[in-house]
């Protein structure tokens, strides 16, 4: 029952100020967030890479309110790609992006919207959609130039049609561009079939946003069942499945589904969050599996952090205990 409450708090400015000021927050945030700057995250990428792990990097932040902020998000990713190029780490690290950071939900009118529509390819899209597309495209181009790619993170259900449209557009020139689907949404099995048929790179996760019962499964056991059904669709399809889970049972099922589908170890991968189940990450990599660590960094960590607390009660208990012992 705590999960929905924490997710609601992730949208609250008052809770943001309260959590940020708590004495134990910095210690707990450091468990999930790799740092605030590119310089902070580079040594972590090197270390993970040296241990045979691959990385996907997320510059945290969302719910922007201005076009200028969307440009800043784009430039942060371009800076990151530049540093990866300097270090020769491009083939070990991809990028994960939230299109909300790139302006997807902004309402843009007038001549600025017309310019974005022309740049993005026209059609009936709203200005925010075109802004996100025009911002993410140079990131995808730059990533391809250093031998890596970009995955579009899924956000709440109202953003998904736009995300999938941008994914489809980017794949015309960069077919390796990935996307994320969420098992708890009723629509996801249909999305998985479409994506599996067209050969997409697809990360499946359970889902970490507060969604209404009209669009999402609410029961945890039923979400797990949906996750397994969707994994099977992806493993039997033509694409590249990316299994985003820390659940040992789902990981074992994923391995068995891959075996039944005749997939080699380099034809799918597992993904886990930075700071969670590190020993299991190392074990899977040692067994020859592709194991990618979702590594977030940046100053606007609050929303990402709160979703990590909501996903697992133990994370919340760890946070509360840290506050009490530091107070």
Q: Residues with catalytic annotation?
A: 153, 203
Rg (CA), the chain: 19
Written as six digits, the tokens of 222 are 């039923």
Residue with tokens 């995955």: 151
Unique residue bearing structure tokens 């026209």: 122
Tokens of 257: 């589904």
């Amino acid at each position: 029952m705590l999960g929905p409450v924490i997710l609601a708090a992730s949208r609250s400015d008052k809770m943001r100020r309260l959590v940020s000021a708590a004495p134990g927050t910095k210690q707990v945030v450091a468990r999930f967030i790799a740092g605030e700057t590119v310089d902070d995250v580079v040594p972590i990428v090197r270390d993970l890479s040296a241990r045979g792990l691959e990385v996907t990097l997320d510059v945290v932040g969302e719910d922007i309110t201005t076009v200028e902020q969307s440009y800043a998000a784009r430039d942060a990713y371009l800076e990151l790609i530049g540093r990866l190029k300097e270090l020769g780490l491009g083939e070990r690290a991809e990028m994960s992006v939230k299109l909300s950071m790139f302006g997807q939900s902004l309402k843009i009118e007038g001549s600025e919207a017309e310019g974005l529509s022309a740049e993005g390819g026209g059609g009936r899209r709203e200005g925010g959609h075109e802004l996100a597309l025009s911002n993410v495209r140079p990131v995808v181009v730059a990533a391809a130039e250093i031998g890596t790619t970009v995955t579009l993170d899924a956000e709440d259900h109202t953003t998904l049609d736009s995300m999938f449209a941008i994914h489809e557009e980017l794949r015309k020139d960069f077919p390796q561009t990935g996307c994320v689907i969420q098992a708890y949404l009723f629509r996801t099995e249909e999305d998985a079939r479409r994506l599996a048929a067209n050969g997409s790179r697809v990360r499946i996760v359970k889902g970490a946003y507060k969604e209404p019962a009209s669009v999402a499964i609410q029961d945890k056991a039923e979400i797990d069942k949906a996750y397994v059904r969707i994994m099977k669709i992806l493993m039997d399809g033509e694409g590249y499945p990316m299994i985003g889970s820390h659940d040992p049972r789902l990981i074992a099922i994923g391995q068995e589904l891959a075996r039944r589908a005749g997939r080699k170890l380099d034809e799918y991968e597992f993904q886990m969050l930075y700071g969670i189940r590190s020993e299991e990450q190392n074990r899977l990599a040692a067994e020859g599996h592709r194991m990618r660590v979702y590594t977030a960094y940046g100053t606007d960590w609050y929303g990402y952090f709160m979703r990590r607390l909501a996903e697992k009660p133990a994370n919340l208990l760890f946070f509360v205990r840290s506050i009490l012992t530091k107070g």
